[in-house]
Amino acid sequence: MPIEVNSVSYVYAKGTPFETSALRNVSLTVENGEFVGIMGHTGCGKSTLIQLIDGLMRPTEGKILLDGEDINSKGYDRYKLRRKLGIVFQYPEYQLFETTVERDVAFGLKHLGLSKAEVTDRARWALETVGFDFGKVRGLSPMGLSGGEKRRAAIAGVLAVKPEVLIFDEPVAGLDPLGRDALMELTYDLNAAGTTIIMVSHNADALAEYAGRIIVLENGELIEDGAARQILSDVRKLREKQLGISQPTLIAEMMRERGVDIGHDVIRYNELISRVVLLVNGGVQK
């Protein structure tokens, strides 16, 4: 189910003295099963772009097509859109409101026409997928959970619909390292199971580990779109654009500066380790 963004522009508060252009003529296509990372500074238009893709705002100009259908055309079924696309906002824990975790997770399932047993099954599946013990957590109030648990419960609420495309806006912001790894593993597993993932993040490490493709926005314009390895290993350009650089890439660069070249294309930890092991074993010439 490809998503096509066709020369889309978005202007906030059009026709007032506060008019600002958030996106300018952005075009891109996301294919089924991709894991796309979106990078860029605060205010570059990342959030605007994903909200446009999710149909929460209408583009000022241009079109957004899902499976070849314009999602903003008049007859388009909004529920179909909601079933196909899920979005996890930054700090999703603020969207919890029901009396029990199970009911909150099932909130999005109301319009799917599922039977009661199916709804429970979905809730069970979603909560277990994010690492909860369904029996223990289903009756608890979501307000009584800890911060990290709240976030997982909120994510379960989005997962329960089983969307084909999942959009994450800074999902790891404010999480501890363990929570961050668990969440990134979750997105990896979902992607491996066929879900398309679009993830906005400042965290170059996380994107380097998991994303296959990177899109870079700057001042509302798309300035880079390509393979993650190619974009994340281009240290000079990343510095010039003041974007994050993954730790393995930095370490490889430091080693290179000290005369030990383990290759220009290292972006992940396991690559760094295997190259270093190779080097120690004499596999790479100094």
Partner 1 sequence: MSRLPTGTFIPGSSPVHRLDARVKLLSLIALLIAIVSVDTLIGYAVIAAITVFVIGLSGLTLKTAVGSAYRMYLFFILVLLMNTCFFSAEDPWFSFWLIHPSHGGMVQGLIVVFRVFMVLVLSNILTCTTQPMEMTNALESLMSPLRFVKIPTDQIAIIISVAIQFIPTLFEEADMIRKAQTARGATFDSPKLSEKAAAVMPLAIPIFLGAFKRADELSLAMEARGYTGVRIHTNRKKACLRFGDYAAMVSVLAVCILLTAFL
Give whichever of 44 and 165 is closer to partner 1, judged by the CB atom: 165
Minimum separation from the CB atom of position 94 to partner 1 (A)? 5
Using CA atoms, how far apart are residues 100 and 269, in angstroms rounded to an integer? 40
The rounded distance, in Å, linking the Cα atoms of 169 and 266 is 26
Q: At closest approach, how far in Å is the CB of 56 from partner 1?
A: 5
Please give the residues from 56 up to 75 whose contact with partner 1 meets the rule CB under 8 A: 56
Distance of CA 78 to the CA centre of its chain: 22
Residue from 9, 21, 72, 95 that binds partner 1 (CB under 8 A)? 95
Give me 112's structure tokens. Answer: 């799917």
Q: Does 16 bind partner 1 (CB under 8 A)?
A: yes
Q: Does 53 bind partner 1 (CB under 8 A)?
A: no
Task: With residue 283 as reference, give the H or E element that holds it.
Answer: none
User: Can you count the helices (H) and strands (E) in the chain?
Assistant: 12, 10
Binds partner 1 by CB under 8 A, chosen from 5, 49, 145, 161: 161
User: Which residue of 24, 41, 82, 202 would you call a contact of partner 1, by CB under 8 A?
Assistant: 82
Q: How distant is the alpha carbon of residue 21 from its chain centre?
A: 23
- Closest approach of partner 1 to the CB of residue 97, in Å: 4
Roughly how many angstroms between the first and final C-alpha of the chain, as a whole number?
47
User: Is 123 among the residues that bind partner 1 (CB under 8 A)?
Assistant: no
Q: Looking at 158, 165, 184, 243, which residue binds partner 1 (CB under 8 A)? A: 158
* Shortest distance in whole angstroms from residue 270 CB to partner 1: 34
Question: What is the widest separation between alpha-carbon atoms in the chain?
Answer: 66
Does position 134 interact with partner 1 (CB under 8 A)? The reply is no
Q: How is 103-152 classified by DSSP, letter by letter?
A: HHHHGGGGGGT--HHHHHHHHHHHHHHTT--HHHHTTS-GGGS-HHHHHH
With binding defined as CB under 8 A, does residue 237 bind partner 1? no
- Calpha distance 108→136 (Å, rounded): 21
Is 108 near partner 1 (CB under 8 A)? yes
171 in contact with partner 1 (CB under 8 A): no
Element spanning 37, H or E: strand 35-39
Among 74, 110, 116, 236, binds partner 1 (CB under 8 A): 110
Residue 92 engages partner 1 in binding (rule: CB under 8 A): yes
Query: Least distance in Å: CB of 128 to partner 1?
Result: 19
Nearest approach, Cβ of residue 50 and partner 1 (Å): 10
Alpha carbon 114 to its chain centroid, in Å, reads 28
Q: Give least dist CB 36 to partner 1, A.
A: 18
Amino acid at 160: A
Tell me the C-alpha distance between 48 and 176, whole Å.
27
On whether the CB atoms of residues 238 and 248 are closer than 8 A, the answer is no
- Residue from 7, 20, 94, 147 that binds partner 1 (CB under 8 A)? 94
Using CB under 8 A as the binding rule, whether residue 125 contacts partner 1 is answered as no
Binding footprint of partner 1 on the chain (CB under 8 A): 12-14, 16-18, 51, 54, 56, 78-79, 82, 85-87, 89, 92, 94-97, 107-111, 143, 157-158, 161
